[in-house]
Amino acid sequence: MWHVFSQYTLIFLLLIVIAVPLGKYLYVAFFEKGKIDRFFSPIEAVIYRLSGIRSLEEMTWKSYCTALLIVNAALLGISYGLLRIQHYLPLNGAKVENMEPTLTFNTVVSFMTNTNLQHYSGESGLSILSQMLFVTMMMFTSAATGLTVATALIRALSKKGKTIGNFYQDFVRANVRVLLPLSVIVTILLVAFGVPQTFLARMAVSTLEGGTQTLALGPVASLESIKHLGTNGGGFFGANSSHPFENPHPFTNVIEMLSMWCIPAALPFTYGHAVKNRKQGWVLFATMFVLFVMMLGVVYNAEQSGNPLVGKSGFAADQGNMEGKEVRFGIPLSSLFTAITTAATTGSVNNMHDSLTPIGGLVPLALMMLNNVFGGDGVGFVNIMMYAMIAVFLSGLMVGRTPEFLGRKIEPKEMKLIVIALLLHPLIILAPSAIALMTHMGTEAISNPGFHGISQVVYEYTSSAANNGSGFEGLKDNTAFWNISTGVVMLLGRYVSIIAMLAVAGSLVGKQPVPETIGTFRTDTATFGVILFGTVFIIGALTFFPVLILGPVAEYLTIR
Amino acid sequence: MRNIRLALLMIVLLGLGYPAAMTGLAQLLFPHQAKGSIIYEKGRAIGSELIGQSFQGDSYFHGRPSSIQYDASASGSPNYGPSSKEMMERMEKDAEQWLKKVPGKTKKDIPIDLITNSGSGLDPHISPAAALFQVPMVAKATGLSEQQLTRLVKQHIEGRAMGVFGEPRVNVVRLNMAVQKLVEERSKRNES
């Protein structure tokens, strides 16, 4: 018990030690003129010149949003072409074929939306060139896109006017000032602890017992670093971060966990700096952290207690549920990884979520359903802000005052936009799950029949809607039905809420600030933290409790 | 147009420049790790210290069950759910094998990692308990004494990193290399 506690406490402390200064750095990188500006500006100037971007004037929310969508569409289109002809391109040591059209659609959408749901297996589905030009590149650009949305919203809350920033500037800065330098550091650390970084795709060795073994290799570390820093989650190999080449050591495991956690955890502090009230950031961080620790406790406890069926057959199940887990991580580091990867909607896995115990598997599912406990780079922050505005609105209704957030009135226009984003999330999970469970195209994919099969289907759409990308991977999901349906869910899950929240930003920035009075409901207090916690918890439970009963809870009751 | 140019530029910078630069730097700083931590014996590549291998004979310590038989050109697990019948059947079958190979033990004594599939199917490690459990089998097949093998296992236990992170474990390929060495030394002694 002691080593679990000390392990977790140390990692939490490391997170805070990294996230607080990183929050300040993000503030300086995006919002302040200063030393950093002088260092990076010449590099960025080259990028602007080469791409023909002449004006860095601030944009209205509509032109900001349009630029975002067009750049994303361009990346999507080029990537689609690339995967369809990868067989003929260089750096294809494993002789990988061109990707099939519906799988290509799913894959490019998956990476552009920061989801990284993978219906292919990295070893056999992508050439080394595709792993670099497409996967690694998309991991930067999709995370940068998410960061621009958070930047725009923070800017809207910290100034007054009509504009919310320049998309190109935010996008380039996110890549050049944040993601690229961090990735270089993390890549080198990962290589030092054993992650390969080579252009060689295959290597044959003769084993101790006299057989031969073919090792799949590649530029793994450079992908692995941005995969986590960008909360992407798509593995170089099929087994993702459980693969010893992606995650060979407890240290690499800690580095990967902190990498995917640090930017979502830093953004509340960035926001605190921007609105000149650092307590605002701490309240958001603390609320999310409490939710996180609760969830972690549940998954750890369930996994450590083991699978009841295994115990009933006479095995020593109290050693924990090790099916789908690696010995070097054991139960504690596997449970923590599972909680972080679904909280930060990364979707990389260091153990197989399909093989989690029923209640253990309920936790990643629930975290993706909430979709706001830290969340992905940028978008996670935007989601928790959305809930913060709902919390303010509900509190306003209860005391009968017009709700205000940082001196800006939250009015029906904003609430309508927020409710669209809020309701879409359960809709694009539950409706396609129902369709899949009613048709052969859906049910034929289920590999673990019974209640667990329901969980498999719901998990797939929840992961798509939350742009997470992990899976109950037993699901045979590389079919036209699954490729197209999850592709559409990923697109809706990503862009509808981005558009809605940019519109909210555009609306808030134009409001006349209301002076703070003694009657103002403060959003930088523990009371607000509790209300926010309640809002997240109640909305989440009301929406998703029934389907959780049908899947994981029913399975738990049948095998306990 | 500028959008497409920006997209192309990002592809070149982040998709080509960055991984290429990282490969160069990694190969320079940590060539062994960057190439896949390959173990060479008498100039021959015999595996990676990070990737498990399939061991069938009783004279070797065995790794964990792998649905892909440690084929490292692929990776993954069968993804059995907790209520899966196939998983329980596999566990029973493996347990039966183990109880035959290691007499005098019951199902409760089998370390759980020896009868569960790892996530990657390539797990290079087993728990110290799982290695000690196999000592009688390897002793019988190699003729090495149980004390000797127990000592060898204990020498090969990697503790928690910094005493905190991860779990204690034994690298199966490394352990089997040591076993092989002992066997070879003994046969040399016998010859001379």
Question: How far apart are alpha carbons A28 and A38 in whole angstroms?
Answer: 12
Contact A325, A335 (CB under 8 A): no
CB half-sphere exposure, A101, CA atoms < 13 A: 0
**Does the pLDDT value for residue B192 go beyond 80?**
no
Residue A517's pLDDT is what? 80
Whether residues B75 and A249 touch (CB distance < 8 A) is answered with no
Give which of A532, A110, A14 is closest to A285, Cα–Cα.
A532
Q: Establish if A356 touches chain B: CB-CB under 8 angstroms.
A: yes
Whether residues B10 and A180 touch (CB distance < 8 A) is answered with no
Does one domain contain both B1 and B49? Answer: no
Does one domain contain both B9 and B70? Answer: no
Residue A115 is encoded by which pair of tokens? 């989801």
Q: Establish if A306 touches chain B: CB-CB under 8 angstroms.
A: yes
Question: Does residue A207 sit in helix, strand or coil?
Answer: coil
Residue A405's pLDDT is what? 87
Does one domain contain both B69 and B122? Answer: yes
Residues contacting A60, CB < 8 A, separation 6+: A162, A163, A164, A506
Does one domain contain both B162 and B137? Answer: yes
> CA angle, A430 as apex, A75 and A348 as ends, to 5°?
50
Contact B110, B91 (CB under 8 A): no
Residues contacting A20, CB < 8 A, separation 6+: A266, A269
Does one domain contain both B59 and B100? Answer: yes
Does one domain contain both B22 and B101? Answer: no
Residues 476-505 of A with CB under 8 A from B: none
Q: B13, B14, B69, B98: best mutation site toward chain A, by most A Cβ within 10 Å?
A: B14
Whether residues B16 and A309 touch (CB distance < 8 A) is answered with no
Q: B10, B35, B164, B182: best mutation site toward chain A, by most A Cβ within 10 Å?
A: B10
Question: How far apart are alpha carbons A303 and A284 in whole angstroms?
Answer: 29
Residues 126-165 of B with CB under 8 A from A: 126-127, 160-161, 164-165
Domain of residue B127 covers 37-191
Does one domain contain both B109 and B187? Answer: yes
Q: Partners of B41 in the beta sheet?
A: B44
Q: Establish if B10 touches chain A: CB-CB under 8 angstroms.
A: yes
Residues 14-53 of B with CB under 8 A from A: 14-16, 18-19, 22-23, 25-27, 29-30, 33-38, 44-48, 50-53
A351 DSSP assignment: S
Q: B44, B54, B117, B120: best mutation site toward chain A, by most A Cβ within 10 Å?
A: B120
Question: How far apart are alpha carbons A200 and B36 in whole angstroms?
Answer: 10
Whether residues A206 and B46 touch (CB distance < 8 A) is answered with yes
Long-range contacts of B185-192 (CB under 8 A, 24+ apart): B186/B143, B186/B144
Give which of A402, A405, A369, A401 is closest to A386, Cα–Cα.
A405
Give me the residue from B7, B118, B167 closest to A78, CB to CB: B7
Give me the residue from B34, B106, B161 closest to A250, CB to CB: B161
End-to-end, the C-alpha distance of chain A in Å comes to: 24
Q: Establish if A220 touches chain B: CB-CB under 8 angstroms.
A: no
Whether residues B18 and A136 touch (CB distance < 8 A) is answered with yes
Å between B146 CA and nearest CA of chain A: 21
Q: Centre a 10 Å sphere on the Cβ of residue A499 and count the other Cβ atoms it contains.
A: 19
Give me the residue from B16, B30, B88 closest to A132, CB to CB: B16
Q: A108, A171, A327: best mutation site toward chain B, by most B Cβ within 10 Å?
A: A327
Does one domain contain both B14 and B88? Answer: no
Q: A89, A315, A354: best mutation site toward chain B, by most B Cβ within 10 Å?
A: A315
Does one domain contain both B90 and B123? Answer: yes
Q: Establish if A43 touches chain B: CB-CB under 8 angstroms.
A: no
Tell me the average confidence (pLDDT) per consecutive run of 10 residues in chain A, 560 residues long.
92 98 96 87 95 93 97 96 95 92 97 95 92 96 97 93 95 97 98 96 94 95 97 95 97 97 97 94 96 97 96 92 97 97 95 97 96 94 95 89 86 93 95 96 91 96 96 93 97 96 95 82 91 95 94 94
For residue B110, the chain A residues in CB contact (below 8 A) are: 315-316
Query: Which chain A residue shows the shortest CA-CA distance from B66?
Result: A324
Give which of A130, A86, A88, A87 is closest to A111, Cα–Cα.
A130
Query: Which chain A residue shows the shortest CA-CA distance from B22?
Result: A222
Residue A400's pLDDT is what? 83
Query: Which chain B residue shows the shortest CA-CA distance from A447?
Result: B80
Q: Establish if B176 touches chain A: CB-CB under 8 angstroms.
A: yes
Residue A495 is encoded by which pair of tokens? 């862009």
Residues 63-82 of B with CB under 8 A from A: 64, 70-82
* CA A253 to the chain's CA centroid: 17
Q: What are phi and psi of B40, to 5 degrees?
A: -110, 140
Whole-angstrom CA distances from B173 to A176, A509, B178 are 42, 62, 9
Whether residues A473 and B76 touch (CB distance < 8 A) is answered with yes
Å between A288 CA and nearest CA of chain B: 24
Does one domain contain both B17 and B56? Answer: no
Give me the residue from B18, B57, B108 closest to A315, CB to CB: B108
Question: Does residue A214 sit in helix, strand or coil?
Answer: strand
Contact B59, B142 (CB under 8 A): yes
CB half-sphere exposure, A502, CA atoms < 13 A: 28
Q: B68, B167, B182: best mutation site toward chain A, by most A Cβ within 10 Å?
A: B167
Whether residues B36 and A196 touch (CB distance < 8 A) is answered with yes
Q: Establish if A111 touches chain B: CB-CB under 8 angstroms.
A: no
Residue A144's pLDDT is what? 97
Give which of A329, A243, A194, A207 is closest to B176, Cα–Cα.
A207
Q: Partners of A203 in the beta sheet?
A: A215
DSSP state string for A417-464: HHHHHHHHHHHHHHHHHHHHHHSHHHHTT-SS-THHHHHHHHHHHHHH
Give me the residue from B11, B57, B122 closest to A244, CB to CB: B122
> What are the pLDDT digits (tens) for B95-136?
999 999 999 999 999 999 999 999 999 999 999 999 999 999
Whether residues B109 and A357 touch (CB distance < 8 A) is answered with no
Give which of A361, A360, A387, A394 is closest to A372, Cα–Cα.
A387
Residue A514's pLDDT is what? 84
The domain total for chain B is 2
Question: Does residue B7 sit in helix, strand or coil?
Answer: helix
Q: What are phi and psi of A165, to 5 degrees?
A: 110, 175
Size of interface A-B (CB pairs under 8 A): 349
DSSP state string for A46-89: HHHHHHT--------HHHHHHHHHHHHHHHHHHHHHHHHTGGGS
What's the farthest any 2 CA atoms get from each other in chain B? 80
Whether residues B82 and A555 touch (CB distance < 8 A) is answered with yes
Give me the residue from A67, A214, A250 closest to B73, CB to CB: A214
Residue A375 is encoded by which pair of tokens? 């969340």
Does one domain contain both B49 and B79? Answer: yes
Question: How far apart are alpha carbons B31 and B24 in whole angstroms?
Answer: 10
Contact A334, A350 (CB under 8 A): yes
User: Where does A207-255 show beta strands of DSSP type E?
Assistant: 212-216
Question: How far apart are alpha carbons A236 and A217 in whole angstroms?
Answer: 9
Residue A69 is encoded by which pair of tokens? 């969508």
For residue A202, the chain B residues in CB contact (below 8 A) are: 73
Q: Establish if A366 touches chain B: CB-CB under 8 angstroms.
A: no
Residues contacting A435, CB < 8 A, separation 6+: A442, A485
Q: Centre a 10 Å sphere on the Cβ of residue A387 and count the other Cβ atoms it contains.
A: 23
Q: Centre a 10 Å sphere on the Cβ of residue A352 and count the other Cβ atoms it contains.
A: 31
Question: How far apart are alpha carbons A153 and A501 in whole angstroms?
Answer: 8
Residue A149 is encoded by which pair of tokens? 């949305």
**B7 falls in which pLDDT band (50, 70, 90)?**
very high
Does one domain contain both B72 and B15? Answer: no
Q: Establish if B59 touches chain A: CB-CB under 8 angstroms.
A: no
Whole-angstrom CA distances from A494 to A146, A266, A499 are 9, 21, 9
